[in-house]
Structures are given as structure tokens and as C-alpha cells.
Amino acid sequence: MLTVGLLALHREILLFAVVGLAIGGLDDLLVDLLFLLRRCWRNMTIYARHPRMTTATLPPSSNPGCIAIFIPAWQEADVIGSMLRHALASWPNDDFRLFVGVYPNDPATLDVVIPIATGEPRIIVGINPRPGPTTKADCLNILWRAMLDLEERSGRCFKAVLLHDAEDVVHPDEIRLFDFMIDRFDLVQLPVLPLPGRGSWLARAIANHYGDEFAENHGKALTVREAMGASIPSAGVACAFERRILGQLADPVHGGPFDPSSLTEDYEAGLRIAHMGGRGVFVRMRDRTGALVATREYFPDSVKAAVKQKARWIVGISLAGWDRMGWHGGPAEWWMRIRDRRATLAALVLFASYAAFLMWGLFAAIRLFTPLDQPPFPPLIEALLWLNLGLLIWRTAMRAAFVGHAYGWRYGLMAVPRTLIANYIAILAARRAIFLYVRSLLGKPLTWDKTQHSFPDLKTEQ
């Protein structure tokens, strides 16, 4: 009786899994095909006649201006000093101001930031009147008000607001690139390339799975999103907003353009700008050496830290984003928002897939010791199994190709087994996100559930 019940349960779980995997796989396949078509078309119609522009051939802005760079910092004493020194050394002749948001109950970060800012007019420190942690959006709003105060005192408005995190390794050419692109667009997003992990093989694998995901997302998905005419969401770092349109998002209640009740205020700002009619662009450009103009940083290298970070993203985008941002725009925008918000359901499908696989292994082990009458799969399930196998091979090859292009072929090949770690973290993160979201619905406020960071040992670091 128990075996019969398990066989029936296995059949139902398997049906749910194969249908879910097929839908997700076909969705990804369509994005892949659109990317390849766009790539071929641009190679034939544009790059066959014109060389690709680099920052070495980038003309100066027709309307140059000062860029405000917001850096929120809560318990970032380990990295903020190196980041600020590296940024100052990278942009010696650029027009910018660094606004660093800190908290009164974070003396370690204050002890690092204040000496660097003292006597350095390009750094403005904004101290939150509320003890931390609040939310990242609340800290950004403090910096917004500090920027407004500086504008009033100097009589000069900033051209754009650029977001960076305390652990970011900035590129020397990005200020010039942002200054040029903001003349034409209201939001400009540059790629993010996670730095390869360090330490044990497990720590490296956990950190490197971020590189796998960003290599695909910032190498393919965002370019397709832009080509479809859908909104370009901010990644929270290496993203610049035109000053005027960001001011239109400012809410007197919040004291700035970012909603303190959101855990993904950057993502929401990008969608809100698109809803207002603003134009966003994702820019992949190389410098004079051939390196991609991108922000690099270390990502979490432990399961606990990765789950915390990804759960925050899922809450803000997949769960809270559903009711906070709604369904604006046309079919292309709806499609992209479905892709953004499918993380929780995708994790459930993955869990069902692994459960079905383990149950199949259990039945195979039982057949070694006793006869087991297991009826064949229905034609629908068998067809979907073959379809999913083909989609899996395609998906694995595409990921390896994009990761290999960004980091090298060895890194790309290792992206295949790292998929298991990525799926494991995704399942745990979805579980945590659901609990956090339910608690928020019951009245518990969301706070800055951040992770600890590290900064690489660069030549510019003293």
C-alpha cells in the first residue's frame, strides 16, 4: 500500500515538475533566440560598416556636468576605506562628488570614513539621524537630501545620480561614459561582473555561481530586454539616473526618490522611470585595453550569506514587487515582469524536480530487492521528459558559453556543475523569502538584511 501511494505521489510530482520545467525552458529558449537574432542582425547591419565604439573613441559629452555618487554604508568598515581610495585614484580628473551614508551607531565605519573625507572636498558624509540598520532606500534618501543641500549652497545642480556599493571596484572610464550617455537617456546601467571566489572549493563555487548568473543576465537578458522596448531595471550598482527625472520620483513623505519600505528600491526606481516615459539603456562598452567597462565586486561565498542576499531580492522583486509595481506597459513589459517574478515558483519547480528524481532512485533501489510493478509513464510525461532533456542541454551550453566569454573557458565549463549549487541556494532563498514576506504582511518592518563584504587587494590600495 505504501509503495502504491508513493508511486502515485511520484507521478503527480513528476507531472508538475516536467510541465514547470518545460514552460521555464521554452521561455529561456525564446530569450536565447532573440539574443542570437539581434546579435546577427547588428553584426550584418551595423558592425560590418562601423567599428565598435570604445571609451578610447568615445567623444566628450556635449553637456558635461557633475555626477553625484551615492554609497550607502552600514557596517562596512572592512571595505569602505579601500573602495573610496580606489575611486578617488581611478577618477583624478573627473567631475563628481562621493556621498557616503553612515549611521551614528556604526562607529567602526565612521572611524574609517571621516579621516578619508576630512580635507577631501569630493567626499560628503551623510549621517542618518536614525540608528541603523534602517533600509538601504532610507540611507539613499539621506544622501539625496545631502545632495540637495549641496546644490542649494553651491548654486549648481548635479547632472546625474550614480549608485555604488561600499564593496564595488569601479572602472576608471565609467564617469566619462555615464556623462556621455546621460545626455541621451534617463537611466544608464553598466554590467556587473562578480570577482572570482577565493578560499575552499565550496566557497569558490558559491561565489562563482553569481558570476555565472550575471554573465548571462548582463551579457544577454538585459540586451534582449532593451531590444524589446521593456524597462531597464537598476542593478543597484553601476547605474546612473538623470538628476531631473529622479527628482520627479521624490516623495515628501519618504524624503527622497527611494521607498524605504522596499528591499529592492533600485529595481523599482528603474521600472517607475520607464512608467513615467523615461528611457533606459544597458551599455556594454570596452575600454582601450579591450576590458569591459563594468563594476566588479566579491559576492557572498557561504550558503548562509548567499541565501540571505537572494531572499532579499526575491522578497523585493518576486513577492512584494507583484503588488507594489503592478503590471504596467505592453506585452513585452508584462513578459519581462513575469520573468522577474518567477523566482519563487521556479524554486518550487526545482524542488519538485529533485524530489521526483530522488523518488525515482528510491524505486530503482527497491527493484533490486523485490519486484515492483511500475507502470510506464503516460505519453505526455514521456514527451515532456525528452523536451526538457533537450532544453537542459541547450541551456547548459548557453550558460557555459556566456560564462566562458566573460571569465574564460575553464570557468565556463565549471558553470555546469555549479548549477546544482545555484539551484540549492535558490530553493533555500525562496523558502526564506516567503517567511520574510509573510512576516512583513503581519506588520514586522523590513530592515537592511545585508551581508558582509570584502575588497580585493589592488595596487591603488595603500
Q: Which cell is 111 given?
A: 572611524
Q: What mean pLDDT comes out for the span 219-231? A: 93
Closest to 87 measured CA to CA, from 147, 189, 167: 167
Reported in sequence order, the residue ranges of 243-373 that DSSP labels E, i.e. its strands, are 280-282, 295-297
State how far the Cα of 404 lies from the Cα of 422, in Å rounded to an integer: 17
Beta bridge partners of 160: 67, 242
State how far the Cα of 390 lies from the Cα of 81, in Å rounded to an integer: 49
Single-letter residue type at 312 = R
Q: What mean pLDDT comes out for the span 290-306? A: 95
Single-letter residue type at 11 = R
Reading phi first (left if > 0) and then psi (alpha if -120 to 50, else beta), residue 280 is in beta
Distances in Å between the Cα of 444 and the Cα atoms of 95, 261, 435, 436, 440 are 42, 11, 11, 9, 5
State how far the Cα of 267 lies from the Cα of 445, in Å rounded to an integer: 19
Bond into 376 cis (ω within 30): no
Q: What mean pLDDT comes out for the span 376-398? A: 94
How many residues appear in the chain? 462
Q: What mean pLDDT comes out for the span 304-312? A: 92
Are the beta carbons of 10 and 356 closer than 8 angstroms? yes
Are the beta carbons of 424 and 232 closer than 8 angstroms? no
Helix (H, G, I), strand (E, B) or coil at 240: strand
What's the pLDDT score for residue 462? 38
If one counts every other C-beta atom within 10 angstroms of the C-beta of residue 231, the result is 27
State how far the Cα of 16 lies from the Cα of 120, in Å rounded to an integer: 59
Is the per-residue pLDDT at 460 higher than 50?
no
Predicted TM-score (pTM) of the model is 0.91
Q: Which cell is 71 given?
A: 554609497
Q: What is the mean pLDDT of the chain?
A: 91
CA angle 19, 438, 14 (to 5 degrees): 15
Q: Which cell is 277 given?
A: 516615459
448 confidence band (pLDDT: 50, 70, 90): low
Q: What mean pLDDT comes out for the span 167-179? A: 96
CB burial of 141-174 (b: ≥16 within 10 Å; e: otherwise) equals bbbbebbbebeeeeeebbbbbbbbbbbbbbbbbb
Distances in Å between the Cα of 77 and the Cα atoms of 81, 105, 124, 207, 354 are 7, 13, 17, 21, 41
Are the beta carbons of 158 and 65 closer than 8 angstroms? yes
The 10s digit of each residue's pLDDT in 433-443 is 999 888 888 87
What's the pLDDT score for residue 264? 85
If one counts every other C-beta atom within 10 angstroms of the C-beta of residue 84, the result is 22
Closest to 138 measured CA to CA, from 255, 227, 30, 22: 255
Is the per-residue pLDDT at 366 higher than 50?
yes
Is the per-residue pLDDT at 265 higher than 90?
no
The 10s digit of each residue's pLDDT in 177-212 is 999 999 999 999 999 999 999 999 999 999 999 999
| Record: fold of 1-462 | Spore Coat Polysaccharide Biosynthesis Protein SpsA; Chain A (3.90.550)
Are the beta carbons of 235 and 188 closer than 8 angstroms? no
State how far the Cα of 455 lies from the Cα of 420, in Å rounded to an integer: 27
Distances in Å between the Cα of 197 and the Cα atoms of 175, 192, 200, 306, 454 are 27, 15, 9, 13, 11
Phi, psi of 127 (to 5 degrees): -100, 120
Is the per-residue pLDDT at 220 higher than 50?
yes
Is the per-residue pLDDT at 161 higher than 60?
yes
